[in-house]
Structure 1
Amino acid sequence: MTIEEIKKEFEASPYLRHLGVEILRFEEGDVEIKLQVEPRLLNRNDVVHGGVYASVMDLIQKMHLQSVTKTKCKVNSSIIHFTAPLKEGAIYAKASILSRSYKTAFVDGVLTDGNGKLVSRGTGTYKIIR
């Protein structure tokens, strides 16, 4: 797959559109996404629900990995650390590959607010589908 084909697949994703994720940059090894915080994404404590963080984390890790491998992948495991609550503004997400073999990759993801403050960090193990 080409980088453009991969980007178009993500843009066509019903779940990505449902969340409201915006792709800011999608290049080989350099992907950034943004999610504007809306009331529908908040929990009973009026902060972004942890499931939203988890979804954005999975998306950025997968998008970054696919931008490099040019093939599909699926998550095997994920660990997410919630470091700060977010009530408003936007979530910005980036990822990097920590380790990769032929069939498996270990990917780091970082979510920040508009000021660059860390709100979540996570790692995921992905199966590379060949």
Structure 2
Amino acid sequence: MDNEYLTWLQNDFEDSPFWRHMGISMDYLSAGEARIKMPVSENQMNCNQFLHGGSITSLLDSIIGVTIRSSQNVKVATIYLNTHFVSPVKDGTLYATANIVHPGKSIIPVESKVVDDQDRLIAVATAAFTVLKK
């Protein structure tokens, strides 16, 4: 992937209404490798005053999309996403990364994880994404 495409990709994700709403931004981006971050926000807390699991899952889903699209110029959609929560979160910043398990042509299995700003594991996920037809 060339730098022009990666710059466009970063802007495309960061300009999306959902990313702006969640406070997600790119922390690092290169061909096939990315890290995104999200500050923990009071409006994302559940009734127990911990970060809602849906916010964490959204971060995992987002990093997978970024990672796949940084490795090839395609659009993708989630087939499934299994999330395993490891540690609760009340504050700070979360960081997400993903690894493509197998670069398939139509279905791409991926693993991803979220850590906090102390590098404490928050959640892991396994997923499969489908490549959308142009």
TM-score range relative to shorter protein: over 0.9
TM-score of the pair, normalised by structure 1: 0.95
Where in structure 2 are there 5+ consecutive unaligned residues?
A: none
Residue among 102, 120, 128 paired with 1:117: 120
TM-score of the pair, normalised by structure 2: 0.92
Instruction: State the alpha-carbon separation in 2 of the partners of residues 115 and 4 from structure 1.
Output: 28
Report how far residue 12 of structure 1 moved.
Answer: 1.5
Counterparts of 1:75-94 in structure 2 under 5 Å? 75-94=78-97
Indicate the SS of the match to 1:25. Answer: strand
Instruction: State the alpha-carbon separation in 1 of the partners of residues 32 and 64 from structure 2.
Output: 11
Residue among 70, 74, 79 paired with 1:71: 74
Report how far residue 65 of structure 1 moved.
Answer: 0.7
Structure 1 partner of 2:32: 29
Instruction: State the alpha-carbon separation in 2 of the partners of residues 99 and 124 from structure 1.
Output: 11
Indicate the SS of the match to 1:66. Answer: helix
Which amino acid in 1 is paired with 2:104? S
1:95 aligns with 2:98: yes
Where in structure 1 are there 5+ consecutive unaligned residues?
A: none
1:7 aligns with 2:10: yes
Instruction: Tell me the percent identity.
Output: 27
What stretches of structure 1 move > 3 A for 4+ residues in a row?
Answer: none
CA RMSD of aligned residues (A): 1.2
1:6–1:70 contact (8 Å) kept in structure 2: no
Residue among 54, 57, 66 paired with 1:54: 57
Superimposed CA distance per residue, residues 63-99 of structure 1 (whole angstroms, 9 cap, x where no aligned partner): 0011001211010111000010001111111111011
Report how far residue 27 of structure 1 moved.
Answer: 1.2
